[in-house]
Amino acid sequence: VKALYLLGDILKSSQDYDNAIRYFERLARLDPSSIDGHIQLAQCYEHGKQYPKAAKLYEHAVELAPQRTDVKYFLGRVYYLAKQYRQ
């Protein structure tokens, strides 16, 4: 699981979002409680302007860790980018 995260992170850092998504999706399937994995995957979708997918992942991360204000910020940002102002 850690290897998937690290490989995805390296690809994301290299702006290879499509391949990073593959690793982070696999991580999310193997460890659905991985908050950071969901955040990383959501950020990859966000870079690809796939805002509904990103929002769904951020929403799940908020459910897993409601105390994490950074995740709430990311969720608000993706709603703004998707022009979903009432969310």
Over the stretch 29-63, which tens digit does the pLDDT of each residue have? 999 999 999 999 999 999 999 999 999 999 999 99
Tokens at residue 83, please?
């022009």
**Which pLDDT score is estimated for 85?**
81
Output the CA–CA distances (angstroms, integers) from residue 59 to 11, 13, 16, 40, in the order listed: 24, 23, 24, 13
Would you state the torsion angle of the CA atoms of residues 69, 74, 79, 81, taken in this order, to the nearest 10 degrees? 150
> Is it the case that residue 87 has pLDDT exceeding 80?
no
Dist CA 86 CA 17 (whole Å): 29
**Which pLDDT score is estimated for 86?**
80
At residue 15 the predicted structure's pLDDT band, cuts being 50, 70 and 90, is very high
Q: What pTM was estimated for this model as a whole?
A: 0.92
Choice between 85 and 26, residue whose per-residue pLDDT is larger: 26
